[in-house]
Amino acid sequence: SDMRSLAIMRETGAPVVVDATHSVQLPGGNGTSSGGMREMVPVLSRAAVSVGVAGMFMETHPDPCNALSDGPNAVPLKHMKALLETLVALDGITKKNGFLEKHFGA
């Protein structure tokens, strides 16, 4: 995913929400159903929060391998708390320090 578009949307003043789990979905990746790369959800989530998004959407499941839908891109429930704690901490740092890129054109 290209994070530049998130920064551009952020500048509109409207809240930007990222769907982290569908961002890693691979339509048709499992032949007759969608696949996914759930291990990339934390990576893209951290990147999006660093850009300064207003919110995140993520699907979670206690046993993603046996989920009826979106299992390949769902965050295992046992890892959700740690991921959210990391994202909240990163969000605080990002928004406290502001966005340096706003000054690059000057």
How many domains does the structure of the chain reveal? 1
Mean pLDDT of 6-16: 94
State the pLDDT at residue 88: 98
Residue 96 contacts residue 62 (beta carbons within 8 Å): no
Residue 36 contacts residue 77 (beta carbons within 8 Å): no
How much is the pTM? Answer: 0.86
Looking at the DSSP bridge assignments, the partners of residue 57 are 19
Residue 66 contacts residue 29 (beta carbons within 8 Å): no
Give the integer Cα–Cα distance in Å for 71 and 84.
19
Rounded to 5°, angle at Cα 70 from 68 and 76: 95
State the pLDDT at residue 74: 93
| Residue 101 placed within a domain | no
Mean pLDDT of 69-91: 95
Mean pLDDT of 77-98: 96
As a whole number, the mean pLDDT across the chain is 90
Give the integer Cα–Cα distance in Å for 100 and 103.
6
**What is the percentage of the chain residues whose pLDDT exceeds 90?**
64
| Residue 11 placed within a domain | yes
pLDDT tops 90 at residue 100: no
- By residue range, what is the domain housing residue 64? 4-92
